[in-house]
Amino acid sequence: MTTADPPFDALTSVTGALVDANDRLLELITLTGTASTSLDEGELLDTLIEPTIALLHLDGCRLSAKIERTWGTPPTVDLESTAHQWKSNRNVADESIEMVVWRTADPFGTADAKLLEAIANLAGNAIGMARMHAEGLAQAAIGQEHAAAAKLASAALPDPLIPPTVPHATIWAAARPARTTGGDLFVWAELDNQLWFAVGDVSGKGLPAAVLMTVCTTSIETAIQRHGEQGPVAVLDSVTRSTHRRLSDAGMFLTIALGRFCPTTRTVEMANHGHSPIVFRQAHEVRRISATAPPIGVLVDARAELESFVVQPHDLLVIATDGLTEQIDAAGNLFGESHFDALVASLELSDADHVGTSILATVDTHRGTTAQSDDQTLMVIGFHCERTRPLLIDATNQGVRALGPWLSEHLAILANGRFESRLGEIELAVHEIAMNIVDHALADAPSSRFALTLTVDDDELVAEFRDRGSAFGVAPSRPDPEHPQVGGYGLMIVEQLASRIERSRIDDLNISRLWFSSQGSIPAASGRKEAHDA
Amino acid sequence: MTLETSSHEIRIDTIVLGDRLDALRAVELREQITAAVAGGTVRIIVDLSTTQFVDSAGLAALAKGMKDCRSGGGDLRVVSSQHPDAARVFALTRFDQVFVMAESADDLLRTW
């Protein structure tokens, strides 16, 4: 048989066609299998178009979208006259995409056109997918920038761990943003032995509110330093002058209550630009401190009136933002203004920290599983106590050794000798809690610090620790004289020395409190096992 | 009648602590006791007579030492602190019923 035989030619032709078809099929499999391995627009199109050129024996291909790309051999002269071409137009995400392919060998048949139509669709999808991916990356970058901005914004607020201290008052505050950034603010400062405090709310939410919040916070802190001697109204006048235009231009405003407490006269003076709620409790009777001027940013010459009142031991001043009173439950019911007042009146507490955490816990109970609807900021000032400045302790065994001398010095000043007979016991109990924090809560953060504050109220001393370590809880151990265990006695000791122990965790803050009475020293011996027992 | 005599030497180590037995000093104390037991001394006196402050970490070091000594057939005994704050820790934890304690090292030596 020779190559000239017709049956052989036919067989060769059929075989060639089958091989060709098989090659095309393999190319097609390759093409569909590799098209989705990348999310880069250029790489996606390369993996689609290059096999297409091989599959259909094309001379070249051009895709015109936002960017024009060409594969293969560009036509040397006019494309219309030198090559067979196939063209397709489609819209992807409001963008017109044109695909043109050309070849000189054969005209495009029906099968070619169907295949090219499918490939044009794939190219359109690839471009759409790449664009979505790029937009996703851009959104993620914006999200990261928002998170960074939120961190910066929250850094503008004081550290709740270290409140200022003046005689006869304790202050506590917490700020809980609804989103990653918020417009609520609080400020506190001790200036010339007076306690300055403010709670404010920049209208709006998100990054714009947070940016203006930082501007307002700085303005308030500066105004207190510069105009504090002239009182709260003058301080807020200064804040108005420095922030009104920015707030007004942004279409935003700031509600703010600002005041100072003078321990010598036991007097509170306040100025209020449109802020609510502010509740003053005296002997379980509550009254609101109302606004006497519109929010800052509304009228440039608005001036608040001074509200002044004398406080008694165990009085409370509670300043919140409307995110607390307007928190909804699962049925959509607000927590409510009257509910808030009734809660402040009913709390059997006068310690600022306890009142604050109790109010937040009650609002959280009302909220249930419903999302927090707005920023929530709460400040509580309890009037009565003598309190030390916080001692910041290095979270090391050596750092804890600083406790004893500090305790001895400050307790003598604070309590006028009332706790002298119990100094050794108090030092031991406080030392054990400090070691517990070092060994457990801050075990993974040896370069961190934690705070200790002493508060004396009549014959009761409260030692309060605050740390930002992991939650800890070690059950006290009781040694068996026959089989004594090696460790775990710290809390057992503390339980016997302190009249009360309380440990709580708020967000990432551990709070440990020990109460001591000035009376009731523990004997230095129990039933001793004397040497002759051996 | 033949009288046979023999003498027995009992080795007892005494460790005298300073004014504090807290977490820092407890580490050293543990090392001292471990070294003594490893060297064959299982009778140890820890003298706390001048110690003013003992915490739970210090107690833990003493308890561990006592266990190690007792495992070797000996004991760790304690000279009581003259300071009420340090002595109180033993009462609070009932360790004064666990350790054999005396007012002086001589009193303890006579118990062996």
Does B96 reach chain A within 8 Å, measured CB to CB?
Answer: yes
**Beta strands across the sheet bearing A376-383:** A169-176, A376-383, A315-320, A278-282, A285-288
Among B10, B64, B94, B108, the strongest candidate for a mutation testing the A interface, having the largest count of A CBs within 10 A, is B94
- Chain B residues whose CB is inside 8 A of the A532 CB are 111
Write down the architecture of domain A21-135 according to CATH: 2-Layer Sandwich (3.30)
Position A216 scores a pLDDT of 96
> At residue A35, does pLDDT exceed 80?
no
Q: A28: pLDDT confidence band, cut at 50, 70 and 90?
A: low
Closest CA in chain A for residue B82: A524
Q: In this complex, do A400 and B102 lie within 8 Å of one another by their Cβ atoms? A: no
Whether A182 shows a pLDDT value over 80: the answer reads: no
Q: Is the pLDDT of residue A154 over 70?
A: yes
Please tell me which of the candidates B23, B60, B64 has its beta carbon nearest to residue A489: B60
Judge whether B2 lies within some domain. no
Cα distance from N-terminal residue to C-terminal residue, chain A: 119
Is B24 in CB contact (< 8 Å) with chain A? Answer: yes
Per-residue model confidence (pLDDT) at position A385: 64
CATH topology of domain A157-384: Phosphatase 2c; domain 1 (3.60.40)
Cβ of A398 and B92 within 8 Å?
A: no
Q: Which of A 434-463 lie inside 8 A of B, CB atoms? A: 435
The pLDDT > 70 percentage for chain A reads 85
Residues of A in contact with B67 (CB under 8 A): 484, 486
Structural domains of chain B, count: 1
Put simply, the answer to whether A531 touches B64 (Cβ < 8 Å) is no
Integer Cα distance of A99 and A108 in angstroms: 15
> Between A431, A484, A522, which is nearest B88 by CB?
A522
The residue to which tokens 């965790």 are assigned: A505
Which residue from A142, A134, A200 is spatially nearest to A377, judged by alpha carbons? A200
- Does B109 contact chain A (CB < 8 Å)? no
Q: Would you list the domain boundaries of chain A?
A: 21-135, 157-384, 387-517
- pLDDT score at A2: 45
Contacts of A239 (CB under 8 A, 6+ apart): A216, A219, A220, A223, A254, A256, A258, A296
Q: CB–CB of A262/A190 below 8 Å?
A: no
Residue B89 resides in a domain: yes
Q: Are A159 and A146 in contact (CB under 8 A)?
A: no
B55, B85, B91 member nearest A526 (Cβ): B91
* B1 domain-assigned: no
Residue A48 has pLDDT above 80, yes or no: yes
**Over chain A, what is the mean pLDDT?**
85
Q: Is the pLDDT of residue A50 over 70?
A: yes
End-to-end CA gap in chain B:
31
Closest by Cα among A100, A80, A70, A79 to A88: A100
- The minimal CB distance from A432 to the residues B56, B84, B97 is found for B56
Q: Which residues, numbered 55 to 84 in chain B, qualify as contacts with chain A under a Cβ-Cβ cut-off of 8 Å? A: 55-57, 59-60, 63-64, 66-67, 75, 77, 84
Q: Using alpha carbons, list the distances in angstroms from residue A54 to A48, A72, A84, A85, A362.
A: 11, 10, 16, 16, 71
The topology under which CATH files domain A387-517 is Heat Shock Protein 90 (3.30.565)
Distance to chain B for A474, nearest Cα, Å:
13
Q: Which domain holds residue B41?
A: 13-109
pLDDT band at A4; cut points 50, 70, 90: very low
Q: Which of B23, B92, B110 lies at the smallest CB-CB distance from A435? A: B23
Coil/strand/helix, residue A102: strand
The shortest CB-CB distance from B87 to any of A492, A493, A524 is to A524
Residue type, B95: F
Query: Does A331 reach chain B within 8 Å, measured CB to CB?
Result: no
Does B14 contact chain A (CB < 8 Å)?
A: no
Instruction: Read off the tokens for A148.
Output: 């960074």
Closest partner residue to B94 among A404, A526, A533, by Cβ?
A526
Q: What is the predicted pLDDT for the residue at A414? A: 79
User: In this model, does residue A151 exceed pLDDT 90?
Assistant: no
Contact A328, A373 (CB under 8 A): yes
Q: Give CA–CA dist A211/A52, Å, rounded.
A: 53
Residue B27 lies in a domain: yes
Q: Please provide residue A220's backbone torsions phi and psi, each rounded to the nearest 5 degrees.
A: -65, -45
User: What's the CATH code of the domain at B75?
Assistant: 3.30.750.24
- Asked if A523 is an interface residue toward chain B (Cβ–Cβ < 8 A), one would say yes
Closest to A217 in 3D by CA, of A154, A136, A164: A154
CA distance readout (Å), A73 to A42, A53, A59, A62, A378: 18, 10, 6, 10, 71
Chain A nearest-CA distance from B71, in A, is: 12
CB B94 within 8 A of CB A525: no
Given this model, what pLDDT does residue A81 score?
Answer: 67
Cβ-Cβ contacts under 8 Å, B99 against chain A: 529
Confidence of residue A136 (pLDDT cuts 50, 70, 90): confident
Predicted pLDDT at B22: 95
Q: Is the pLDDT of residue A15 over 60?
A: yes
Instruction: Find which of A40-54, A59-73, A293-307 is predicted with most confidence, using mean pLDDT.
Output: A293-307
Residues 6+ apart with CB under 8 A from A349: A355, A358
Contact flag B97-A431 (C-beta cutoff 8 Å): no
How many other CB atoms are found less than 10 A from the CB of residue A147? 12
Q: Is the pLDDT of residue B108 over 90?
A: yes
CA distance B24 to B26: 5
Which residues of chain B have a CB within 8 Å of the CB of A531?
77, 100-102, 107-108, 110-111
